Amino acid sequence: MTLAELDRLAQLPFFELLQQARATHERHWPKQEVQLCTLLSIKTGGCSEDCSYCAQSARYSTGVDAERLMSRDAVMENARAAKANGSTRFCMGAAWKGVRQGSKRFNDVLEIIRDVSALDMEVCVTLGELGAEEAGLLREAGVTAYNHNIDTSPEHYGNIVSTHTFEDRLNTLKHVQDAGMAVCCGGILGLGEQAQDRLRMLEILSNLDPQPESVPINVLMPMPGTPLEDAQPVDSFDLIRMIALARISMPKAKVRLSAGRTDLSKEAQALCFFAGANSIFYGEKLLTAKNPAVKRDLDLLEALDLTPQAPFSDVPKPCATAAGIA
């Protein structure tokens, strides 16, 4: 979608925008389902990058200590618990600038992925920058989706991160697509961006070819010790508008109402679902930050007559040999 089209939609009265988004949503997602994804930080803290929102950067004193890569057994325990709780997608995050083929840590992660992919959940990882070889190996090990956010507009990106570029992010996304993994790519609201930056972000996301399979919309969770600890809070109506614009501009994507739900009322979340959100992070922890309690989310879904989406209902299953379950 062009910037001009996004701009025209963004100027619609609130309820007109919501109606359009709802119509698009119902055409493409008639089932009243929400995908439940569980996150696990398999390597926490000590990251070389300086993303100014992130509690895991080694450059800031945030109280998040650098840990080693989690053991296969510990990851599997968490993955099994997520499945037992009703999650259909398991997303593992690592606080790394990126990964390199042949390194011990990358081989260890591949082993972890082979184990987790045998559990028959969608497997998503977010490990930072990738080259073509690394992307191919992840795909072969059983990764179905790779999360790598552009976070904001290209114009604002340099104000938020200096240790890698917006272009680096796009290159990784290209390798992910070429390897045949689904792209999970979105951003954060509340990084001191202008309304125009949000639209530019959506312009770039919606012009990826193919469009992302899923689009996480995070609201900044201000982390003490980071440069953005005192950032202005995001108005929930702005979030709802952003979800509506994401739905209209990327009709087939799962739009994930991501970080920041702990501060959203159930009514605001209901409007997000109405406007087109159809995926959430589920489970009491994100990577380092809090997420709503499982019971609270299940109650919310029940109150709204929404049901959990089955795994692989709109993405192909990796082939058995690739997933190591032949």
Interface residue list for ligand DTB (CB under 6 A): 39, 55, 91, 93, 126, 147, 149, 186, 216, 218, 221, 258-259, 286-289
Two tokens, residue 158: 């340099």
| Interaction partner, residue 151 (ligand DTB, ligand SAM, ligand SF4, none; CB < 5-8 Å by kind) | ligand SAM
Q: Known catalytic residue: 184?
A: yes
Contact letters for ligand SF4, residues 80-119 (x by CB under 6 A): ---------------x-x----------------------
- CA–CA separation, 80 vs 98, rounded Å? 26
Identity of the residue, 79 or 188, whose beta carbon is nearer to ligand SAM in the bound complex:
188
With CB under 6 A as the contact rule, the residue among 33, 49, 213, 297 that binds ligand SF4 is 49
Cα angle value 313/319/92 (rounded, 5°): 70
d(CA 143, CA 139): 5
Q: Which long-range contacts (CB under 8 A, 24 or more apart) does 290-293 make?
A: 290/262, 291/39, 291/259, 291/261, 291/262, 292/261, 292/262
93 binds ligand SAM (CB under 6 A): yes
The residue annotated as part of the active site, out of 37, 89, 124, 241, is: 124
As measured in angstroms, the least distance from the Cβ of 122 to ligand SAM is 17
Nearest distance from residue 153's CB to ligand SAM, in Å? 14
Could you give the C-alpha distances from 308 to 13, 36, 87, 169, 300, in angstroms and in order? 31, 6, 8, 31, 12
188 binds ligand SAM, rule: CB under 6 A = yes
Cβ–Cβ < 8 Å for 152, 187 = yes
Question: Catalytic site residues?
Answer: 47, 51, 54, 91, 124, 184, 256
